[in-house]
C-alpha cells in the first residue's frame, strides 16, 4: 500500500471549498478532512479534480505542424500529451477525423495508425494523461462509414460524433462565415470557392443521411457513446435522439440547446467560446447558455489550456461559483461518457488532481498534476 497526504490545501469539492487535507492510497482518494495533517504542504493552493476533455483537435497540429510537414506520429502524440497534462487535463479524448475529401492531406490510413499508436502509447507508459479516442465522423464524405468501421475495433474508441460542415446549415448557416473560414484559409478565388461550396453541398445531400444511420448503428453495437454536432433546429435534435445520442456538441442556436436539454442530452460547448466572449463562427455564445442554465460541459476544442482558463474566468466574473465551474470540466464530462471513477474529489475516486495557484492574477497557474496519485506534470 502506498499513501500520500496533501495538507494545507483549499480543496474544491462538488458544492464547496474547504481548507484541509487529502489522503491518497494506491491511486485513490481515501480521506478528505478539514484542518491540518502531517504531509506535503500545498501552501494554501487549490486542489481540483483532474480535468476531463472530450473533444480536442489539438493532436493534428502536432502531427502536421506545417503544411506538408508530417511528424513522427508517436513523437506527435507525446508532444500533444505533454501539453494536455500541463494544462491540468488528466483524461483526454483525442479527436481523430474520419471522412476525407480531395483537399485533405490526412488519409484514413493515417488516422487508423494514429489511433493505434495512441493506444500503444497509453498502454506502455508513454503518456501522462489517460487517453481515449473520439472519432469525428464527417458524414458528408464518401468514405466516412468505411473510416469509422476501421476505427471502431480500437478499444480506446469511446466516443463518436456525427458532423456535417457543408455550407448553408448547422455550423455554417451563415454563408459569409463559411466564406471567411474556408475561402481565406485555402486562398481560393471566387470561382474556386463557388465550386468548393457546390461540391460539399452535393456530397452532403448524397452521403449524410445514410452515413449517420450506419455509424450510429455501429456505435450502438460497440457500446461507443454518440454525440451530435452543430445542431441548429429542433428537427436536428430529434434526429440525434433517434440515433441514441447522449451529448449535443456545440449547438449553434438557443433553440437547439433547449431542445437538447429537454431530451436529456448533455450540452457541450467550447471553452474558447467562453474565453473569447463568443463563437468564431458567429453562433450562440456559450456564456449565454451558462447563464440560462442550459450548458453541462466545456471542451477545450483547439486550445488545451482554455478548459482551465474558462472555468476560472466564469468563477472570477461571478457567473457561477468555482465548484460549479469546475464541474463543467470534470465530473460532467466524465459522467456523460460513463467514466464514474473520476472527475470529483470524493472518497474512492481516482486521485486525479491538479494543484492550482490562483492568487497571482488570471490566468491560473498549474503547479502540479497528479494521475492516480502519481505526479505527471
Task: Say which CATH number the domain at 204 has.
Answer: 3.20.20.140
Classify 3 as helix, strand or coil.
strand
Query: Which of 28-32, 108-112, 118-122, 297-301 bottoms out in mean pLDDT, i.e. has the lowest?
Result: 108-112
What domain range includes position 185? 50-341
Query: Which of 14-23, 76-85, 272-281 bottoms out in mean pLDDT, i.e. has the lowest?
Result: 272-281
In the predicted structure, residue 311 carries a pLDDT above the cut 90: yes
Residue 94 domain flag: yes
DSSP E strands: which ranges in 193-340?
225-229, 247-249, 266-270, 297-299
**Residue 202: its pLDDT value, please?**
78
Residue 294 domain flag: yes
Residue 360 domain flag: no
**Residue 70: its pLDDT value, please?**
92
Taking the C-alpha atoms of residue 24 and residue 41, their distance in angstroms, rounded to an integer, is 14
Residue 148 domain flag: yes
**Residue 293: its pLDDT value, please?**
92
Read off the pLDDT of each residue in 196-211 and give the average, rounded to a whole number. Answer: 81
The total number of structural domains in the chain stands at 1
Buried b or exposed e, range 272-308, using 16+ CB within 10 angstroms = bbbbeeebebebbebbebbeeebbbbbbbbbbbbbbb
DSSP state for residue 294 in the 8-state scheme: -
Residue 363 domain flag: no
The confidence band for 190, taking pLDDT boundaries of 50, 70 and 90, is confident
Strand 365-371 to strand 374-375: parallel, antiparallel, or no bridges (unpaired)?
antiparallel
Read off the pLDDT of each residue in 195-209 and give the average, rounded to a whole number. Answer: 79
Residue 41 domain flag: no
Mean pLDDT for all residues in the chain: 92
pLDDT digits (tens, 9 = 90+) for 135-161: 999 998 889 999 999 999 999 999 999
In the predicted structure, residue 191 carries a pLDDT above the cut 80: no
Residue 253 domain flag: yes
List the Cα angle 127/266/10 in 5-degree steps: 60
The confidence band for 167, taking pLDDT boundaries of 50, 70 and 90, is low
In the predicted structure, residue 197 carries a pLDDT above the cut 80: no
> Measuring CA to CA, which residue among 167, 171, 165 is closest to residue 179?
167
**Residue 103: its pLDDT value, please?**
62
Residue 255 domain flag: yes
Q: Is the pTM of this model over 0.85?
A: yes
Query: Which H or E run includes 374?
Result: strand 374-375
Our measurement of the distance from residue 60's CA atom to the centroid of its chain's CA atoms, rounded to an integer in Å, reads 14
Strand 89-98 to strand 51-56: parallel, antiparallel, or no bridges (unpaired)?
parallel
Amino acid at each position: 500500500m502506498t499513501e500520500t497526504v496533501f495538507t494545507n490545501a483549499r480543496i474544491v469539492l462538488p458544492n464547496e471549498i474547504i481548507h484541509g487535507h487529502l489522503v491518497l492510497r494506491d491511486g485513490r482518494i481515501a480521506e478528505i478532512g478539514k484542518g491540518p495533517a502531517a504531509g506535503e504542504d500545498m501552501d494554501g493552493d487549490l486542489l481540483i479534480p483532474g480535468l476531463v476533455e472530450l473533444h480536442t483537435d489539438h493532436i493534428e497540429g502536432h502531427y502536421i505542424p506545417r503544411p506538408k510537414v508530417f511528424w513522427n506520429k508517436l513523437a506527435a502524440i507525446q508532444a500533444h500529451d505533454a501539453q494536455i497534462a500541463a494544462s491540468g487535463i488528466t483524461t483526454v479524448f483525442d479527436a481523430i477525423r474520419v471522412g476525407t475529401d480531395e483537399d485533405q492531406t490526412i488519409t484514413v490510413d493515417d488516422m487508423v495508425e494514429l489511433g493505434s499508436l495512441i493506444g500503444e502509447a497509453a498502454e506502455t507508459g508513454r503518456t501522462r494523461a489517460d487517453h481515449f479516442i473520439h472519432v469525428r465522423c464527417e458524414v458528408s464524405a464518401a468514405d466516412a462509414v468505411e473510416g469509422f468501421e476501421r476505427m471502431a475495433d480500437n478499444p480506446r474508441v469511446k466516443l463518436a460524433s456525427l458532423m456535417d460542415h457543408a455550407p448553408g446549415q448547422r455550423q455554417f448557416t451563415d454563408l459569409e462565415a463559411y466564406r471567411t473560414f474556408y475561402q481565406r484559409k485555402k486562398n481560393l478565388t471566387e470561382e474556386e470557392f463557388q465550386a468548393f461550396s457546390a461540391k460539399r453541398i452535393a456530397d452532403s445531400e448524397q452521403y449524410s443521411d445514410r452515413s449517420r444511420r450506419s455509424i450510429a448503428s455501429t456505435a450502438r453495437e460497440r457500446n461507443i457513446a454518440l454525440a451530435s454536432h452543430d445542431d441548429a433546429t429542433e428537427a436536428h435534435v430529434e434526429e440525434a435522439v433517434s440515433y441514441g445520442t447522449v451529448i449535443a456538441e456545440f449547438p449553434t442556436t438557443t433553440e437547439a440547446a433547449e431542445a437538447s436539454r429537454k431530451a436529456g442530452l448533455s450540452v457541450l460547448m467550447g471553452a474558447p467560446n467562453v474565453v473569447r466572449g463568443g463563437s468564431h463562427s458567429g453562433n450562440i455564445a456559450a456564456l449565454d447558455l451558462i447563464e440560462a442554465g442550459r450548458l453541462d460541459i466545456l471542451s477545450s476544442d483547439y486550445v488545451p489550456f482554455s478548459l482551465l482558463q474558462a472555468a476560472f474566468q466564469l468563477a472570477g466574473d461571478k457567473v457561477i461559483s468555482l465548484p460549479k465551474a469546475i464541474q463543467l470540466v470534470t465530473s460532467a464530462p466524465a459522467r456523460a461518457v460513463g467514466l464514474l471513477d473520476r472527475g470529483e474529489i470524493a472518497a474512492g475516486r481516482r486521485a486525479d488532481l491538479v494543484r492550482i495557484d490562483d492568487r497571482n492574477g488570471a490566468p491560473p497557474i498549474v503547479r502540479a498534476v497528479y494521475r492516480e496519485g502519481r505526479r505527471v506534470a
